[in-house]
Structures are given as C-alpha cells and as structure tokens.
Amino acid sequence: MARDYFTTDHEYIRVDGDVGTVGITNHAQGQLGDVVFVEVPEAGRKLKQGEAAAVVESVKAASEVFAPVSGEVVEANTDLGGTPALVNEDAEGKAWFFKIRLADVSELEKLMDRAAYETFVKGIA
C-alpha cells in the first residue's frame, strides 16, 4: 500500500515499495497559478535529498522542484512537457513529475505525513 509524505517545499512523494512518485502538492499549484511550463528529470539521473530535480513555471513565478529523497530517477512524466496545465488540474494525481528508486528509506523520516503537512500549510496561510 502506498504512503504519502510531504516536504516543507510543497513536494509530495507517494511511496510504494522502493519507488516513490514525486510531484508538487495541490497547495503549491494553487499558489503558482496557471502552470505554463514543466521540465522533468531524465530517467537514470541520480539525485540527493533536497537537490533541485525539476522546474515548474507559471504565469506568476518559476520554481524548482526538489527531490524529497535520494535515489535514481526511474521514470519521468513526459506528458507534462506538452500539457503543463495538467498540474493545475490534478497535481497529486496524473501530474506527477518523476518516479525515483529510494536509495535510503530512512530519509522518509525527515518528511511529514498528510496531517502534519496540512497543519504546516495552515500555519503559513
């Protein structure tokens, strides 16, 4: 069964086994506004926890998307290049950015669960 974790930079990772699906949260896409460009990492790229992995640009701002955990990118969501607005439509579903094979499962302990993330978001609103 998949478990969701969140970062203070508004990324989520949905972990199933040793692979996590990474994207930005509904809160993040709401703050960005209309997304007009997405750049995702290539499969095979190795990332460290907290490293810039992808880019998302909106009519308001450009933001980096950081790797919530260390590991190797095993798949990128290439659909986002042609349809960046999908991020606004389904940020925590079809608009995932990349999948990563976790190098160190213990890094998940540094992340928040959904309840903690929702409390965090309320505190910054």
Domain ranges of the chain: 3-124
CATH topology of domain 3-124: OB fold (Dihydrolipoamide Acetyltransferase, E2P) (2.40.50)
Q: Write down the pLDDT at residue 125.
A: 63
pLDDT in tens, 23-80: 999 999 999 999 999 999 999 999 999 999 999 999 999 999 999 999 999 999 999 9
3 state SS of 54 = strand
Query: What is the pTM (predicted TM-score) of this model?
Result: 0.96
One-letter amino acid of 7 = T
pLDDT in tens, 77-91: 999 999 999 999 999
Q: Write down the pLDDT at residue 124.
A: 86
